Every structure is written in C-alpha cells, then in structure tokens.
Structure 1
Amino acid sequence: MVSIERRPTTDTPPSHRPRRRFAAAVAAAALLPAGLAATAAADPQTVPNGPWTGENGSSLAGIHSYEQLWSTLGQIEQRAQGSFDLSAAPLQSNTGRDIPVVTIGDGPTSVMYIANQHGNEFVVSEGMLDLVQSISGNSQAAQEIRDQLTVTIVPRVNVDGFDADVTDTDGDTTPWRQNYDPRCTQAPCDPFYAIGRGYDINRYHSYSDNAYDHPYLEGDDNLNPVPEAIAMRLLWDERQPELVIDFHHQGTYVDEDGKMITGSTMWPNADEEAAKLGISDEFADTVERSQRAVSVMLTELEQYGYANITRYPSTSTPGIARNAYGLLGSASVLFELRGGIDAKSNGYIAKTAANAGQAVLEAVADGSWETASLEPVKNIRERGDYVSDPHE
C-alpha cells in the first residue's frame, strides 16, 4: 500500500470567456456516490466518507510509469496543434533518467507548471497530462493560450522517487517522497534529508543568482545536492516565467462542517527572507499577483461539486519552490490535492488539477488575472482537521 506523507498543520469574481472543460460532469458524478457506497461499512468521518486507499484497487493503477509517461507525451506531440516541444530537463536524476519537459505555445508571456516533486504524490502528474493534451488541441481556448503564452509543464519532477528500481538502506522501495540519493547513512545529514534514501526536492530550490547554490549554507556556492531542484531552477532561468504553479498532494482533511477537503492552496510567505534580501516591497507585489492567480483558481473550482478548496497551512521555508520562485520575482502558487486514495478516485483529483491549471492559463493569456478580485482569497477558509483512513 502506498502511503502519502501527511504534513501537520500549522470586488467581483473575474470574468472569463466560456471554456471547454475536461469532462467535469463525469468526474463529479463518479465521485460522490462511489465514495459513499464503497465505505458504507465504515463509521462516517467525512462527507463523503472516502474513498480510501485500497477500496477499489491499487492507487497506482492507471498511473503512467516513467516509460509510459514519455511514450504518452510523444504521442501527444505527434498530433499536437501549434508549437509543441518535448525535451529533457537540463539535468538528469541520480539514476541517470531524463525528466520530461513539455513546452507549448510561442507567445510572449511565459508560465511554468511543475508537478510530482514528491515521488508518492503522483496523481497530479496525470492532471498535467490532461492539461498538456487539452492546450495542444484545436479548441479556440487552446489556440489563444498558445498565441499568448509559452507554457512550460514538467509533469513529473521526481522520476526516481516515483518508480526507479531502487531501495533505500531500510530495504523500502519506491514510490516515496524523496529523490534517490542514499549517500548519508547516519546523522547528521543535510536538512530535509531522509537517511539512506534522499532529499526532499521541494526544499532545495535556489533563490540566489546561482541555480546551483545550496539554500541552507551561507554565501554563494555550487553545493546544492539535488539535481532535480537545480534542473527546475535552470528551467526558470531560461524561461523567466511570469507565474509558477507547483502541484502536490496532501492527506485527507475535513472542514468545519465535516465535508472532505479535496485541495488546499497557498502563495509565497517568505517575508522574513525577503526582508533580509532587501526586497520586501517587490515581494509584497509578487504575493499580490500570486493571490490573483489563486483567486482565478478558486473562482473556477467553485462551480464543481467535487472541489472543496482551503488555505494550506504552509511554512515560510525559503527553499520551497513556492517561496524560492516568489523571491526571484515570479508569481508563485502551491496547489495541494487530496492524496492517498485509490484508483477509482484518482480521476477527480487529476481533473481538479487540469481544470484549475487551464483556468489560470486562460486568465493569464487574456490578462484578466491582473484584475482578478482578491475577495475569494480573503474569504478562503483554513484547512481543517486531519482524518485517518478508517481501514488502516
């Protein structure tokens, strides 16, 4: 059974042109009755009460392997409309694997989406595949995105942590949270390192002038030990995106009414580090632009009955992608979707990521995100209590 790591807690809406959706009605119809029926024997904890891991088959069922991911992206490239490029990230993983990077469109504004930095948070990679297929198609919305934007999508950053044929020093196999870098076998090790396994990629994004800089050592150096994080920063250097969105999973949480939370979002909050760098004013502007992107997402997802989005109780660690790219000047958003569920429910998670991602691209393409109301952000609820799997 795959176990998703759970992290402890701590104007008017923008108007958009009519959009072609990702079969939202199908996903909505599939979720609620299936979840309720599958867990009828369990004591209700949430509404709906499930689905949970293992109820309807392996949570990895239907998830593209490394080889399948590359193959599917190649197939999409063959039938893509407009500008489409499938290439490898600037650096390989520690097992020598290429990280797939998709570039769609050739417009003047750059946007960058990354997903699956944590190897056991893999359903969002399927959402990025859905999005790649949609915006490379022949719809009017897709054509306008390609004309106005250059979209960089990295559907799976942590290719090793998802399905590399490796074990850590405890004999555990993937998928796991970290990358693969088992050099440190006893403490002390670097910050955010799992002994005998590897690094949390999403803590090692450099926010200095040097992409190879270790974010937790004083001064400029070339000591960043995480090739996947360096690769994302090198892409950022090359693309200079106006906006970065980072897609993850979280555990299962409930709101104050007992309704299951299906996603949580957050913007940059490294205010202390910004002050140290003397960029507080610039960072405040970046935070506001990030919140406008969040507002677009919240407004889009409000129409779907299966989406219940809250504020993510995030830390201010500067090496997190959301904070690092915010400190570098890009609007930056974290989007965490419910994880640790089975294959039958993965579809609505993937669709939530795809729908939110496309809504933001359309808003950036037509410029409406710049004037999006901040009211949805002001009214966003805090994430509620964690709920454990009743079958564990």
Structure 2
Amino acid sequence: MRRLVSAFLVFGLALASTATAAADPQTIPNGPWVQDSQQVRLERLHSYDEMVKALRQIQRQSKGRVSLETVGRSNEGRDLYLAKVGTGPTKVLYITQQHGNEPLGTEAALQLLQRLGNGGAGWDAILRKVTLLVIPKVNPDGSERFQRQNHDPDCSGAFCTPGVGFDVNRWHDPAVAPEDNPVPEAAAVQRVAIRYQPAMVVDYHHQGSYRSDDGDLITTSIFWPNHPDAPAPAVALSRQMCLAIFDTLMHYGFAEVSQYPGTLPRGIARNSYGIRGAGSVLVEMRGDIGQKSSGMLVRTAYATMGALLESVAEGTVFTLDPARADEIPLRGDFVDDPHEE
C-alpha cells in the first residue's frame, strides 16, 4: 500500500500562510486553527477566487482527467465546486473546510488533484479502481472571513450563531432534504452524496493542540460514525478506513494519531454519511499553529488522502480488522500553550 504513498509525500507541497485571526478553543467538536495571540499571514493560502483559478488550471492541464462542475452556491452566491478524477467503480468523496477557519485540508486537496491530474502508471492504476470526488472549501463565505460559520447573519434556530451564521457541519442530517436545508453549503454536499452514492466519505477539519498519554503533541485525530442509526457494515468500513490512515501515518513516523472524541448529532457529516450507509471518517488536523508547522500538516493530510485511495484500489482496506480501531490511542489533554516547547 505504501509504494505510491511515498511518492505523495515527496511530491512538492506549495504551502500556505495567513492574516491575523482569532477564535476561542472549541474542542467538542472541531476547533479553531489559530489562537488569539498568534500573528499568521494568510496570503499564501488560497482565497476562494485563487482556489477557483487553481481548480480550472488543474482541469486544463489534466487534459480531461480532472473535471469540474458546480453543485450549488453559498449563502452569498459563490459557486461550490465538485472536482472528479478517475473512472473506477468505488467512489470516494473528500470534503474540506466546512469551517471557514480550518484551511489546510483544502490546500492538501488541491495538491492531490494536481498530482492525480498529471497521471502516471501508478496513479492510472488507482484511478481505474477508484473515482475520487472532492468538494474543496465547502464554506467559502466563512473562509473569506476566516470564521467557523457560514455567512448568514439573519440565521435562527439550531446551530446558528446570531448575527454570524450557521455551523455548516451540523446540517447534513439525512432526515432533512437538501431542498429544505437552510444551509446551502451543506445542502450541496447532500446532493452530491445522493447523486453519486460514494462508498466512502472523509471530512477534513482542525482541532486545538492536544497531548498523547506519552506527552507527544497530537498531529491528527480520526473517528468513525458513533450514532446508533449508522448501520453496522458502514461503521465497520469506517473503522477500516481509520486503520488505513492510522497505519500509514504511524509507519512514516511524522504524525502522532489519536481517536477523536466524537459526539452524537445526526447532522455531523461523519455521522450523517455513515447513517446513509457509507464508510465515513472525520480527520482532525492539529490547530493552534502558525505557518512554521503548516507544511507538515498539509503533508499529513495529503498522506491520508493518498493512502486511503491506494488502499481502496489494492483492496487492502477491506482486509483490516475493524475491531483493531479500538486500539488507536485516545486523545489526551488540551494544551493551553502549544508553543511552550
């Protein structure tokens, strides 16, 4: 499984930096990317317009390997894009930046699409087995403001911050039809899931900084659906996906991986798409960092994306023992000052 993952890791990663942002730690669930005291420049992260330009360039340079379509619009009217690459029967959906201030999954997804668009024998073999679907920067209005919520100051009701907007990652409940969903960004992801019926869904976020029981800083936390309505086969597949990610990252030694202490709401993407019957995984990258550590985190997210695709194409993910996921270490204590070392 790790032959092509090694190539993913050595592929050049053009990284992102940032504008000052502030956020209070929110650890259940998800969390801020930066803290109040940090000065971080955002110029090298892709803005929405820059992301669209990059996607179109990837499409052109791929000579038809990568296709784009719009699958909805944000509350402020920005187009939401779906990128597709591959012709395989197993569909895998990656979604990034549901929370606007959690950006590095988007950067990793753009680099992944660029690499797959370039092709090569190994990649072509994977993409004959897998069709990859990517919705990058699901919350473009929030990303432009570097805030967690979408932009809907008139919102009301559940998971609304008055005067700001909705938490997009609370509005994927299968019981809410896309046409009835008050959060257009979540509704777009729902429509993609209904239309393409992906076998696997992976949702990328950031959390705060935490330590393992051994005192090491956690770089990545992962988790599967834990809502009781998620069918057992979907939960088992989700656990296997977590193990494919865990085994790869721990093998390369540049990541410290833990279980994320996931909560139960049906509208969280991790639970919702598990309830729909897909393997569904949350990937939480470490937050509370400046640009010095961002390259490593993009590389880590990029490795999880590549490892899962390769594992699916080779079929090894389906041979993993789902029960072994319980051995992934639990996340430790929150670090009040992640810069103390």
What TM-score do the two structures reach when normalised by structure 2? Answer: 0.88
Amino acid at match of 2:170: R
Structure 1 residue 21, shift from structure 2 partner: 2.5
Partner of 1:253: 210
Partner of 2:283: 335
The CA distance in 2 between the partners of 1:130 and 1:54, in whole Å, is 29
Within a 5 Å distance, the mapping from 1:255-274 to structure 2 comes to: 255-271=212-228, 274=229
Amino acid at match of 1:339: G
Question: Is 1:140 matched up with 2:146?
Answer: no
Structure 1 residue 208, shift from structure 2 partner: 3.0
Partner of 2:294: 346
Question: Is 1:286 matched up with 2:258?
Answer: no
Q: CA separation of 1:81/1:379 partners in 2, compared to 1, >3 Å: closer, same or farther?
A: farther
Question: Is 1:244 matched up with 2:173?
Answer: no
Q: CA separation of 1:55/1:303 partners in 2, compared to 1, >3 Å: closer, same or farther?
A: farther
Partner of 2:58: 76
Residue aligned with 1:22, SS: helix
Partner of 1:193: 160
Structure 1 residue 225, shift from structure 2 partner: 0.7
Structure 1 residue 127, shift from structure 2 partner: 1.0
Structure 1 residue 360, shift from structure 2 partner: 0.5
Query: What are structure 2's unaligned runs of at least 5 residues?
Result: 14-33
Structure 1 residue 87, shift from structure 2 partner: 2.0
Amino acid at match of 1:179: N
Partner of 1:304: 252
The CA distance in 2 between the partners of 1:260 and 1:337, in whole Å, is 11
The CA distance in 2 between the partners of 1:182 and 1:128, in whole Å, is 29
Tell me if structure 1 keeps the 8 A contact 2:8–2:306. Answer: no
Partner of 2:47: 65
Partner of 1:170: none
Q: Percent identity?
A: 38
Within a 5 Å distance, the mapping from 1:1-392 to structure 2 comes to: 17-23=3-9, 58-80=40-62, 83-89=65-71, 91-163=72-144, 174-184=145-155, 189-208=156-175, 210-212=177-179, 222=180, 224-271=181-228, 274=229, 283-374=231-322, 376-389=324-337
Residue aligned with 2:113, SS: helix
Tell me if structure 2 keeps the 8 A contact 1:56–1:344. Answer: no
Tell me if structure 1 keeps the 8 A contact 2:99–2:167. Answer: yes
Residue aligned with 2:284, SS: strand
Runs of 4+ in 1 over 6 A off after TM superposition: 52-56
Tell me if structure 2 keeps the 8 A contact 1:136–1:142. Answer: no
Q: CA separation of 1:391/1:340 partners in 2, compared to 1, >3 Å: closer, same or farther?
A: closer
Query: What are structure 1's unaligned runs of at least 5 residues?
Result: 1-14, 28-51, 164-173, 213-221, 275-279
Partner of 2:16: none
Residue aligned with 1:332, SS: strand
Q: CA separation of 1:148/1:183 partners in 2, compared to 1, >3 Å: closer, same or farther?
A: same
The CA distance in 1 between the partners of 2:38 and 2:164, in whole Å, is 30
Structure 1 residue 73, shift from structure 2 partner: 1.3
Residue aligned with 1:378, SS: helix
Tell me if structure 1 keeps the 8 A contact 2:58–2:66. Answer: no
Structure 1 residue 55, shift from structure 2 partner: 9.6
Residue aligned with 1:315, SS: coil
Residues 213-249 of structure 1 show CA distances to partners (whole Å, capped at 9, x for unaligned) of xxxxxxxxx2x21000000000111111000000000
The CA distance in 2 between the partners of 1:18 and 1:106, in whole Å, is 19
Structure 1 residue 93, shift from structure 2 partner: 0.6
Partner of 1:171: none
The CA distance in 2 between the partners of 1:129 and 1:325, in whole Å, is 23
Q: Which of 1 and 2 has greater Rg?
A: 1
What TM-score do the two structures reach when normalised by structure 1? Answer: 0.77
Tell me if structure 1 keeps the 8 A contact 2:174–2:272. Answer: yes
Structure 1 residue 145, shift from structure 2 partner: 2.2
Partner of 2:30: none
Q: CA separation of 1:53/1:190 partners in 2, compared to 1, >3 Å: closer, same or farther?
A: closer
Amino acid at match of 2:204: F
The CA distance in 1 between the partners of 2:121 and 2:52, in whole Å, is 27
The CA distance in 2 between the partners of 1:390 and 1:106, in whole Å, is 43
The CA distance in 2 between the partners of 1:315 and 1:321, in whole Å, is 11
Residues 47-93 of structure 1 show CA distances to partners (whole Å, capped at 9, x for unaligned) of xxxxx86999625242001111011111111221663102212x201
Amino acid at match of 1:176: Q
Q: CA separation of 1:182/1:55 partners in 2, compared to 1, >3 Å: closer, same or farther?
A: closer
Tell me if structure 2 keeps the 8 A contact 1:113–1:154. Answer: yes
The CA distance in 2 between the partners of 1:348 and 1:82, in whole Å, is 31
